[in-house]
Each structure stands twice: as structure tokens, then as C-alpha cells.
Amino acid sequence: MASSLSKQLHFLLIPLMSQSHIIPLTYFAKLLALHGLTVSIITTPLNAQRYKSIVTHALISNLKIQLIPLHFPSQEVGLPQGCENLDTLTSLELFKDFFLASEMMQEPLEKLIQGLKPKPSCIISTSPLIWTQEVANKFKIPRYIFQTVSCFTLYCSHILNLTKIQDNFVLDSDSFVIPNVPHKIEFTKGQTLNGTIKKQSQDMQSIIDKINQSQDLARGILINTFEELEPWYVDAYKKVLNKVFCVGPVSLCNKEMVEMVDRGNKASIDVHSNCLNWLDSMKPKSVIYACFGSLSRISSLQMKEIGLGLVSSNFPFIWIIRELNFTLEVEKWLRDENFEEKVKGRGMIIRGWAPQVLILSHPSVGGFLTHCGWNSTLEGISCGVPMITFPLFAEQFYNEKFIVNILKIGIRVGVEVSINSWNEEKNGVLVNMYQVKKVIDQPMDKGLEGEEIRKRAKELAHMSKKTIQEEGSSYLNIKLLIEDVMQLLKDKEGEANNVAKTM
């Protein structure tokens, strides 16, 4: 598989310090390393520690992957000690400081690159790390952007930026249809990226504008999707930007159970074994897995409605409550309700972090109540699990429309407006327990609609697995990317030889 030339290549991967960027980029590192090249993942010391085991597994398989920690100046910018990942941020103020601290990694990175051997051949970084483009320019190597959203989202955002159609409307609830796409996709103003970001702050909007502008400077765009999943949108987006490579679903790089378990946060061994034993005891495709990602902050009132909805649905469930959503109020409510005792044998709560891909790939799981983060969406697709969509903010509404209207493998709970993720208690209740119960029953029941959703989900999962196998579309796109880098290196060498000859 590996040519002698590719063995000389050294790719630097730099993810934004967030679960939804580090997890897919470390998986992508594995897919690249399978082609024989050296891959270094640059991140902060605490994140390097968190993701160490992923690299350890790769090393066992003789893949040349290393994690290089770089100082993260959290205290210099006033962040609390240990705050090195977006999942630990508690306010919008800290969010701005976090971006400032990440920009301050530029100088140490440049110093590091000077000493790296073999010399880096390219930088692949996720889109918010704009400053990595300057580093690439300085060392005259190409930078590729790794996108953690779908082509559908990228293309719809492009259309909205171009037409500014949303500016014709006043209210967040005003709705319109996205022009120039083959599907009828209706958005409300408040669900568009502009709408949900403005809700967070004006500063966030200016960060997003800068990120969009920096796209044109990159050599190419790598997208964690696969061509067969969204062919029209991939083709359309390829006409917008040069060199688009669909390289996913990257989570399928993991074959062994231990590889699926280790992903950034440690769920305790007890959680794994309890959870797996429990799933083993359930009927095939009977369990609802409810998880809202690594960043979402949901109000206590909404948490209660989700809990009550799960209980009244009569299906077995695993409900993940991340630490920040586990408020004193939620804890007290669970205790007062005697919740866990009541659902014993039928429902399980995991506090903190769950081995998501491991759970989704278990044959007992039949539905995924999801916040529609793109990684979660793609993981649900790859595992063939129908989805119950509960978007909260950012591009999650785009993913919901993609799942429900285009792929037709899910049903919406009915969230109409995005939340302000920094002030969750103000958001109150977006959907009540009856809405939650109703949609869980729908894709899970034996009716025709549920049957068709399950059939399509299964077909897509089958399709997704083929793409990363040898000669699959994503596998071939990774090869094209490597060839692109090699060609640039050859061109550079040729230019240097010509200069030498003329001297």
C-alpha cells in the first residue's frame, strides 16, 4: 500500500482543542498512516495526555503516529488552570480567551517545526485555526483544512452567504426555502448559522467571518463525509472551492473494541463492562441511546422533560448526562423521582462520558436521540442507527434537515429555535416529554415509516463501510491527497534545481 515516496512524507495534523475536532483528526491520522507516512498530531499537553491511548493502539499496529504537546498559554490569557479543551469552558468570555491562547501557539509551533525530522510536508488543521495558514506560508508547505461538517452544510452556508436571503426576514421564526438546491429545505432565520451564532455574540460572528475568508487561502479542503452520502452537495461544493476531498467516515478506522473505547475522555472500566453486559441482555434494535455531544448545555427543566420522555416511551434506554448538565437541580430531581430505581433493568444513566461508537455499533441499539453534531450524525449513519433529532445550536439544524429531509433516516423531536449555549437556564424547555415520547415510538415501532427508516439506515451503513476500504471513494481520495502533496514537493524540488542551475 505504501510507496517509497510516501514513506518520506510527514503530515502535521493540528485540531482545534475540542472533542469534535480532536477525535476525527486523530482517526484521520490513522487512515493516513496506513499509507505508510509519518503523522504528527500537535496539541496541548493535557489533550496529548487525554488522547495518548489512541496513539498507543496505532503504534501497536506499526503505524507511524506521534502526539506532540505544545505549551498552551491558558494562564497568560486568564483562563483557569487546566482549561485546554472547549468542553471545559463555562462562559463566552472564556471562549474568546481560549481563541487568543490558541493563536499564541503559533510561535512555539514555528520553533518546533524548525527542529522536526523528517521535515513536515504539509499542515492539516481544522478550520478555526486560521493562524496555521501563516505557519504553512512561512515554511512554504501547503495547508489543507479538515472540515468537521458536511458538504450539505458547507454548500447551504455558501448559498446563504451569497444570496443573503435570510436578511430579508426580521423574526427568528420567519422561514424560507434555500434556493438553488435540489431538495426543498426550509430554514427559519434563527436556525441558520448566522442566526444561531448571533445569538451567542457578535464577536463570534466576526470569528466565523475570518474563518470563512481563510478557506480560500488553503490548498484544499478535506471533509469528514463520503461522496455517496451526499453526491449532489459534494459536486456542488467542488464547484465552489478547488480541491475538495471527501475522506470519511473517519471513525470507521477503528476495528477493535479497545480502539472504539479510547477517545479523549475516560469512561470508567465499570461503565464499559456494565453498559456492554446490559446491552447484551437486551433484544436486538430495542434500545434508545440518548446523548447530546461534548459541548451542549441543556437547562435543568429540559433535562427533566427528556428524562420523563424516555421513561414514558416504554423502550429501554441509555441516557448520557455530561458533567456540565449534571446540575445540583438535575441530581436532586433524579433523587426525588427515584428515577434510577424506577427504571432499573430498563434504563441506564451514564454520568459523564460514554463510549459512543461502541454503544452505537451494538446490535441492541435501535435508535439514537442526538443533538445532531456532525461527528455524532456520521457515527449514527455508519452504525446504521435511525435518529431522533434534537438540534441545539450551530450547524446542528443543518444536520437535522440532512438526516430527516434528505437521507430520511430520522424523525425530528420538534426543536424550532437554537439555544444560547452560554446561558442554558434562560432557554427553558424546547420540547416537552410528550414530544420526546412520541418520536421515540415512531422510528422504533413496527409501522411502515419505522420500517423504511430502518431499511435506509442499514443501506447507508453498508455504503459507508465500503468507502474507507481499499478502492472505496474515501480511500481513493486520501490517495489523491497524498499524491497532491507529493506533486507539490516534486515541483518545489524542481524549482530549487532550476535556481541552482541558473546560479
Q: Provide the minimum distance between the beta carbon of 65 and ligand UDP in the complex, in angstroms, as a whole number.
A: 18
- DSSP 8-state code for residue 79: P
Nearer to ligand UDP, 38 or 125 (CB): 125
Pick out residues in 165-194 that bind ligand UDP (CB under 6 A). Answer: none
Q: Provide the minimum distance between the beta carbon of 145 and ligand UDP in the complex, in angstroms, as a whole number.
A: 16
Q: Is 356 in the site for ligand UDP (CB under 6 A)?
A: yes
**Which of residues 354, 409, 461, 468 is near ligand UDP by CB under 6 A?**
354
Nearer to ligand UDP, 28 or 353 (CB): 353
- Specify the stretch interacting with ligand UDP by CB under 6 A; choose among 41-49, 59-67, 294-302, 473-481: 294-302
Q: Provide the minimum distance between the beta carbon of 265 and ligand UDP in the complex, in angstroms, as a whole number.
A: 7
User: 284: which 3 cell numbers?
Assistant: 436486538
Long-range Cβ contacts of 335-343 (<8 Å, 24+ apart): 337/307, 339/307, 339/311, 342/311, 343/311, 343/317
Q: Is 293 in the site for ligand UDP (CB under 6 A)?
A: yes
Q: Quick one: 60 exposed, middle or buried, by C-beta within 10 A (0-12, 13-18, 19+)? A: exposed
Pick out residues in 379-438 that bind ligand UDP (CB under 6 A). Answer: 379
Question: Scanning the structure block, which residue is given the C-alpha cell 487546566?
Answer: 82
Calpha distance 273→293 (Å, rounded): 21
Nearer to ligand UDP, 379 or 441 (CB): 379
**Which of residues 12, 15, 20, 147 is near ligand UDP by CB under 6 A?**
20
User: 192: which 3 cell numbers?
Assistant: 441558520
**Which of residues 320, 343, 365, 444 is near ligand UDP by CB under 6 A?**
320
Query: How, if at all, do strands 347-351 and 317-321 pair?
Result: parallel
Helices 131-138 and 106-115: angle between axes, nearest 10 degrees: 30
CA dihedral 82, 87, 88, 89 (to 10 degrees): 120
Q: Is 374 in the site for ligand UDP (CB under 6 A)?
A: yes
Q: Is 295 in the site for ligand UDP (CB under 6 A)?
A: yes
Q: In the complex, which residue's CB is closest to ligand UDP? A: 373
Q: Provide the minimum distance between the beta carbon of 322 and ligand UDP in the complex, in angstroms, as a whole number.
A: 6
* DSSP per-residue letters across 264-301: SBPPPHHHHHHHHHHHHTSPTT-EEEEE-TTT----HH
Residues in contact with ligand UDP by CB under 6 A are: 19-20, 23, 263, 291, 293-296, 320, 353-354, 356-357, 373-376, 379
